Structure 1
Amino acid sequence: MKNSLKVHAALFVVALIYAANYSISKDVMPRYVGPFGLVLLRIVGAAVFFGVLSRLIAPQDHIRGRSDQLRAVACGILGIGLNQLLFFSGLNLTSPINASLIQTIAPVVTVLASAVLLGERLTLPRLAGIGLAAVGAASIILSRGPVAAGGQDGLLGNVYILLNATAFGIYLVLVMPLMRKYHPFTVLARIFLVGAFLAVPAGWQQVQQPEYSSFPGSIWAAIAYMVICLTILAYLLNNWALKYASPALLGAYIYLQPALAVGIAVALGKDTLTLTKALQALLIFGGVFLVSRKPRPVAPLEPVQD
């Protein structure tokens, strides 16, 4: 298989894994395991896996220096701990389609964080894209659908997903220098370890409550999927593909994930696609498209000829 096909295959599998999770997670929580309990299982499992893998593959590689250590801690808090706690708390309350659509604003947050932290230029199309995506996300967050009517706080769930996307967008900006400087497994082992310090106290009570002996095989399979596929396999494939994929290609797969999530949720009867949701999706997709476009380089002024 050619390398370009491998990249497409890896990105597609990652998108499919994340898309299926929106519906699979709803089967597990809150009936069998609470959202924080699931986060604990995921993060601790990944911390152990990447910790062992980093010692086997890059035993001499260590994160050094005060600034890199602090950056790794910030990445673990934002990208692993808060990111996962907010995501599963939000998904527990809102619908799969709402969650998948709101999460697509992460690239918008990344651009804003890059402008603030790295001094990148905000062009007029990008500002328009930020506004367009914000309108789409706000319309989803403030809408009251079947989930909210069914007794759950859908508004709060949508806000949690928005905060999750914000934390993840900032994390992407912070983690990039570490990924370029150290082996990816070294970075993943450290940030998952930091995330575990948040996940264990938050999820310890919920992980002890269930009667695991009463779980049907389908629920065990769903939990295994979230720990192995969603956490470990997706991170491995994503980090490999990031070495070869162009920004335009990554942008295309940003749109594919919610499309797959919608298809899976509707096919499994977990959610319904309405005209309103389709229009909200178009607003967000349009905004992300404008934000994801690279600004044209400013041409240097030619000297005036006498």
Structure 2
Amino acid sequence: MKNPIRVHAALFTAAFIYAANYSLSKDVMPHFARPFGLVTLRVIGAALFFGILSRLVTQDRITGRADNVRAVLCGLIGIASNQLLFFSGLELTTPINASLVQTVSPIVVVLASAVLLGEKITRARAAGIVLAGVGAALIILGRKTGATPGQDTPLGNLYILLNATAFGVYLVIVTPLMRKYHPFTVLARIFLVGALAVVPFGWRQAVAIDYAHLPLLIWSEILYMVICLTILAYLLNNWALKYASPALTGVYIYLQPVLAVIIAVGLGKDTFTLEKALQASLIFLGVFLVSRKPKPSLAPAKPLVASSQD
């Protein structure tokens, strides 16, 4: 691994940025801003940033009908649907519930790969899908622990599950584009599509924000969501994934909800109960089983031959 300390620092910082968002967003929603308004600010900001950056860094352009259709689908599923569902769910549920339910994204990646790419699902992965599904279902249908008045926790949990589903599908369909074109080219296109899809839903909520009277803390949290969450976290992940092993990135998948729990409890935004710990263990075990690579099939037996190498 190249620059192991920098790789770990990048992955940890990205995980921390995502984890902190679960609690910081609760300060902003719903009193100062509504979810669709926040999504509109985030996506427009990212579309402008990556659009300018792609022009400065590369002359690469997406060509061909198939790739352009795929890019549109990525923008609709991975940006618009993903973000609208996430912030709608986070407004209604608790930070810990949201962080735990969203951990099922790797499960969706495996299922989407099986459906779209024809990959086989082993028995271990099937067991992992069932375990994680049970854990997520228990959270979604569980009691409204830590919820505030006016929240609809089960509905919010369901939105987060749909968000994780959209993100998992997005990871599968965006991979061919990332392998073929420069990442900034792909991001510029999909965020542009996402912005065009989000604005009709969120522009009213975006302009309804009372920007002149926002407290400094709320301003900083909104800027955090636009700059750190949407732009910086991706840049860190994109750089680190060039050098990190799949096993290492898997560790940080588990770290994100752990950090989210610590931050939420530390800030008094949520409580972590034994019930949630048991539900989390089911999801973590399921994701662990699904994330394991299937063992290669054994070749036909051959006569044993002495080898000089270990």
Report the TM-score range of the alignment, normalised by the length of the smaller protein. Answer: over 0.9
Determine the structure 2 residue equivalent to 1:263.
262
Offset of residue 206 of structure 1: 0.5
Offset of residue 150 of structure 1: 2.3
Offset of residue 235 of structure 1: 1.0
Code of the residue aligned with 2:137 in structure 1: it is A
Partner Cα separation in structure 1 for residue 139 and residue 185 of structure 2: 38
Partner Cα separation in structure 1 for residue 147 and residue 225 of structure 2: 25
* 1:44 counterpart = 2:44: yes
- Preserved CA contact (<8 Å) 2:142 2:154: yes
Q: State percent identity of aligned pairs.
A: 70
Determine the structure 2 residue equivalent to 1:180.
179
Per-residue deviation, residues 152-211 of structure 1 (Å, max 9, x unmatched): 211110000000000000111111111111100000000100100121111111011122
Per-residue deviation, residues 190-240 of structure 1 (Å, max 9, x unmatched): 010010012111111101112211101000000010000000001111111
Code of the residue aligned with 2:208 in structure 1: it is Q
Q: Which structure 1 residue ranges, 5 or more long, are not aligned?
A: none
Code of the residue aligned with 2:204 in structure 1: it is Q
Aligned residue-pair number: 303
Structural mapping, 1:194-233, within 5 Å: 194-233=193-232
- Preserved CA contact (<8 Å) 1:147 1:154: no
Per-residue deviation, residues 119-172 of structure 1 (Å, max 9, x unmatched): 112111000000000000000000122455723211110000000000000111
- Preserved CA contact (<8 Å) 1:148 1:155: no
Determine the structure 2 residue equivalent to 1:151.
150
- Preserved CA contact (<8 Å) 2:254 2:284: yes
Partner Cα separation in structure 2 for residue 288 and residue 164 of structure 1: 17
> SS state of the match for residue 273, structure 1?
coil
* 1:25 counterpart = 2:25: yes
Partner Cα separation in structure 1 for residue 44 and residue 146 of structure 2: 30
> SS state of the match for residue 297, structure 1?
coil
Partner Cα separation in structure 2 for residue 37 and residue 11 of structure 1: 29
Moved more, 112-121 or 132-141: 112-121
* 1:66 counterpart = 2:65: yes
- The TM-score, its normalising length taken from structure 1, stands at 0.96
Code of the residue aligned with 2:254 in structure 1: it is Y
- The TM-score, its normalising length taken from structure 2, stands at 0.95
Code of the residue aligned with 1:81 in structure 2: it is A
Code of the residue aligned with 2:157 in structure 1: it is N
User: Could you say what the CA RMSD is over the residues aligned between the two structures, in angstroms?
Assistant: 1.4
Moved more, 195-204 or 133-142: 195-204
Per-residue deviation, residues 65-96 of structure 1 (Å, max 9, x unmatched): 11111111111111111000000000000000
Partner Cα separation in structure 2 for residue 53 and residue 78 of structure 1: 23
Offset of residue 2 of structure 1: 5.4
Offset of residue 302 of structure 1: 4.5
Determine the structure 1 residue equivalent to 2:308.
none
Per-residue deviation, residues 254-280 of structure 1 (Å, max 9, x unmatched): 000000000000000000000000000
> SS state of the match for residue 118, structure 2?
coil
Partner Cα separation in structure 2 for residue 99 and residue 245 of structure 1: 26
Moved more, 66-75 or 14-23: 66-75
Determine the structure 2 residue equivalent to 1:82.
81
Partner Cα separation in structure 1 for residue 167 and residue 240 of structure 2: 18
